[in-house]
Amino acid sequence: MKKNPFSLHVNMDDFIPATAEEKEYMVQMRPSTTFFKDGVKRLLKNKVATVSFVLIVLITLTSIFLPMLWPYGYDQQLGQVWGRPMDPSYNNLAPFEYGTTEQARIAAGESIFPHIFGTDSQGRDYFIRVVYGARISLGVGFFASIIVLIIGMTVGSIAGYIGGKVDIIIMRIVDIIYSLPDTLMVILLASVMKVSLGALIEGTVLAKLGSNMISLFVVFALLYWVSMSRLIRGQILSLREQEYVLASKAAGAKSGWVIKKHLIPNCISVVIISTALQIPNAIFTESYLSFLGLGVNAPMPSLGSLASDALNGISSYPHRLVIPAVVISLIVLSLNLFGDGLRDAFDPKLKN
Amino acid sequence: MNSKTLLYILKRIFLAALTVWIVITITFFVTRAVPGGPFLGEKALSAEAEAALNAKYGLDKPVFEQYTTYLSDILFRFDFGPSLKDRGRDVVDIITNGMKVSIKLGVCAAAIATVVGVVLGAVAALRRNKLVDKIIMVVTTAFVSMPSFIMGTLLLLLFAQVLKWVPANGATAGGLIMPVITLALYPAAYITRLTRSSMLDVLGQDYIRTARAKGVSPVKVIFGHALKNSLIPVITYLGPMLAYIVTGSLVVEQIFAVPGIGRDFVNSITNRDYPLIMGTTIVLATLIVVMNLVSDIMYKVVDPRITLE
């Protein structure tokens, strides 16, 4: 029968039940993905961020494990042997050179572990000092960010969730701390605290860290939490007004449930991203203070203090300046790029 | 200017004054908390000498009275007291001497950074995704994540030690070239990125298309319409830029031995010269707060569309 295109007759062929094969074809055979998996997939597609991440992991692992294997200590003066006068031939060695006693041992057929970056003016192996410096810088960056995260999150969520007068008072304090010139305050606090803290922490576990390091953490805890708390307050304020929170409340949810099921999961990506971006900031500040002589206590090295020490011998030993400079730029750059990638992958809304 | 804008400006001025007062207060009490007192330094003194010094500097009075005296000295007589290490010199004297050099340095750096940043940013935006744009973006990314002291030391190494083009000492003639370039690099890179993104945003606006459709010459569209409007975000950056230049000058002056206020500040910290630490902190902090205030107000006045809180 020839079909009339204008006919209103229903073509009964369209209503034949689908065969099993046809049904199979329509089913999407993809495992359901979670928000986290989806984000990781997007992150892995971003080549710059992936390379940065690999670099960070490599530097971190090196700085943690290499000192255990290395034959020289970061504060070991190689020219100094117990009961003998100081051997000055170990000071200021160029890369892959050896001190006199080492040369004698090499001549005798012994194999000596090379000083890859040479030694510094006090005869300390420079490579291990750079590795240690990277460890200190990364450690300070990581723990300072954790401190900032904890304080900022607590204050921000209290201000955002309780609201009212508490919110107004907290936000005024935040405004004032925010408008303080932070670097100047940091320098002032660090310079004074390293004097007054020294006596306070003597004999405790904290003394091992050194007064300068503690004052660094205190300064971070005092000044840098404000932007984090602002961010979290803003997040909570906007999330609180969302329809799904209203729906959940209307359905009888208690506030504990709302916080656990709606507020925290929706905040968490912002929190993680801004913490990740806080780390390079903290490293930056630490190296800056170390460069000014307010960072870690000697003989402990940090990348900033290594660069600062190298400034005196810049014409004779330029490599001592270039090496920590390159390492610190690499760390800060890769952390920044990774943080940006993390932001793009997990919270595209944040990108402006 | 309507009353709402005026109210906003007054509010900002009040907040700035409050901030300066808090800075002074923190500085005062923090330096008073140092063991041994701020005017005594490290060496152990005999009891009589300490008492005499305390009396001379008014340290035997109650802390609150010392505080009010210090505050009124600063506000009404512009007096920060004598320097500890530099005997016979007033803190104000040291600061004004340092400021002469530092202001020259800072203003040059800010001017270069703004001009270079705006030009490069506009070029990058107009040549979007071309080779020029890509090169500019890669270079600025590198500069933005390099700490100023690293940049300074590497430039010093390259131009003063290896190439010997410029003197390494900032106190000599031509010695300010390197510090200015070092200080300008980061803000220039930042302004480039800022101008580029805001220019791209403006170039996509309807009024640009309208202007082009009307037959306005491309030069006029770029300079009269696009560039002018994309400079608004740059204005907001002026305050933070000055803050960066002030803190950057602390290390840059140290690296290049420029006799400016930044070097005085750093030296005062290593010398534990507390009156000088207090004086420089207060002066620099006030400078930063005032510049932030000015750039904030300018931002609101230049672009009336911006809603006031």
Q: CATH number, domain at A341?
A: 1.10.3720.10
pLDDT at B309 over 50: no
A317 and chain B: CB distance < 8 Å anywhere?
no
> Both A118 and A258 in a single domain?
no
Q: How many CB atoms lie within 10 A of CB A7?
A: 8
Is B188 inside a domain boundary? yes
Is A18 inside a domain boundary? no
> Both A151 and A239 in a single domain?
yes
Residue with tokens 């004052």: A215
Is B1 inside a domain boundary? no
Is B309 inside a domain boundary? no
> Both A221 and A163 in a single domain?
yes
> Both A208 and A232 in a single domain?
yes
**pLDDT at position B296:** 82
Selected for mutation to probe chain B from A174, A183, A322 (highest B CB count within 10 Å) is: A183
Spatial separation of the C-alpha atoms in residues A333 and A338, rounded to whole Å:
9
Spatial separation of the C-alpha atoms in residues A240 and A259, rounded to whole Å:
9
What would the two tokens of residue A228 be? 């984090």
DSSP label of A259:
I
CATH number at residue B135: 1.10.3720.10
Is B221 inside a domain boundary? yes
Crossing angle of the two packed helices B148-155 and A303-310, in degrees rounded to 10: 30
DSSP label of A16:
S
Count how many domains chain B has.
1
Are A175 and B254 a contacting pair at CB < 8 A?
no
Of B147, B281, B292, the CB nearest to A188: B281
> Both A224 and A293 in a single domain?
yes
- Tell which residue, B28, B31, B133, B141, has the closest CA to residue B74: B28
Q: How many CB atoms lie within 10 A of CB A255?
A: 10
Domain boundary among A123, A143, A161: A123
> Both A100 and A191 in a single domain?
no
Minimal C-alpha gap between B35 and chain A (Å): 6
Of B31, B146, B281, the CB nearest to A184: B281
- In which domain, by residue range, is B134 found? 102-272
**pLDDT at position B110:** 93
Are B33 and A307 a contacting pair at CB < 8 A?
no
**Percent share of chain B, pLDDT over 70:** 90
Q: Provide mean pLDDT across the span B285-309.
A: 78
**pLDDT at position B67:** 85
Spatial separation of the C-alpha atoms in residues B224 and B217, rounded to whole Å:
10
**Residue numbers of B between 239 and 278 with CB closer than 8 Å to A:** 243, 246-247, 250-251, 254-255, 265-266, 269-270, 272, 277
What would the two tokens of residue B144 be? 């933005």
Is A34 inside a domain boundary? no
Minimal C-alpha gap between A260 and chain B (Å): 32
Is B134 inside a domain boundary? yes
> Both A116 and A254 in a single domain?
no
Is B227 inside a domain boundary? yes
Which chain B residues are Cβ-neighbours of A283 within 8 angstroms? none
Listed in sequence order, the residues at least 6 apart from A147 whose beta carbon sits closer than 8 Å to its beta carbon are A217, A220, A221, A225
pLDDT in tens, B230-256: 888 888 888 888 888 888 888 888 888
Minimal C-alpha gap between A120 and chain B (Å): 18
Which chain A residues are Cβ-neighbours of B154 within 8 angstroms? 321-322, 325
> Both A138 and A103 in a single domain?
no
Instruction: Please tell me the number of Cα atoms within 13 Å of B272 on its side-chain side.
Output: 16
DSSP label of A125:
B
pLDDT in tens, B39-87: 555 556 677 777 777 777 777 778 788 888 888 888 887 777 777 766 6
Is B248 inside a domain boundary? yes
**pLDDT at position B302:** 78
Is A311 inside a domain boundary? yes
Q: Enter the pTM of the model.
A: 0.78
What does pLDDT average to in each consecutive run of 10 residues of chain A (352 residues)?
Answer: 69 81 76 79 87 93 86 75 70 73 75 77 83 89 91 88 87 85 81 72 68 81 87 86 89 86 82 86 85 78 85 79 87 87 74 48
- In which domain, by residue range, is A96 found? 77-123
Please check whether residue B151 is in contact with residue B186, taking contact to mean a CB–CB distance below 8 angstroms: yes
DSSP label of B162:
I
> Both A154 and A250 in a single domain?
yes
Is B55 inside a domain boundary? no
Is A29 inside a domain boundary? no
Spatial separation of the C-alpha atoms in residues A61 and A43, rounded to whole Å:
21
> Both A153 and A105 in a single domain?
no
Q: How many CB atoms lie within 10 A of CB B291?
A: 19
Of B16, B269, B277, the CB nearest to A292: B269
Spatial separation of the C-alpha atoms in residues A342 and A275, rounded to whole Å:
11
Is A307 inside a domain boundary? yes
**Percent share of chain B, pLDDT over 90:** 13
> Both A115 and A234 in a single domain?
no
Is A286 inside a domain boundary? yes
Are B265 and A187 a contacting pair at CB < 8 A?
yes
The long-range contacts involving A87-96, CB below 8 angstroms and separated by at least 24 positions, are A87/A123, A88/A123, A90/A119, A90/A123, A91/A119, A91/A120, A91/A121, A91/A122, A91/A123, A92/A118, A92/A119, A92/A120, A92/A121, A92/A313, A92/A316, A92/A317, A93/A118, A93/A119, A93/A123, A94/A118, A95/A319
Count how many domains chain A has.
2
What is the phi/psi pair of residue A125, to 5°? -60, 120
Is A194 inside a domain boundary? yes
**pLDDT at position A52:** 92
Spatial separation of the C-alpha atoms in residues A224 and A232, rounded to whole Å:
14
**Residue numbers of B between 1 and 20 with CB closer than 8 Å to A:** 15-16, 18-19
> Both A229 and A318 in a single domain?
yes
Selected for mutation to probe chain A from B149, B201, B261 (highest A CB count within 10 Å) is: B149
Average pLDDT along chain B: 82
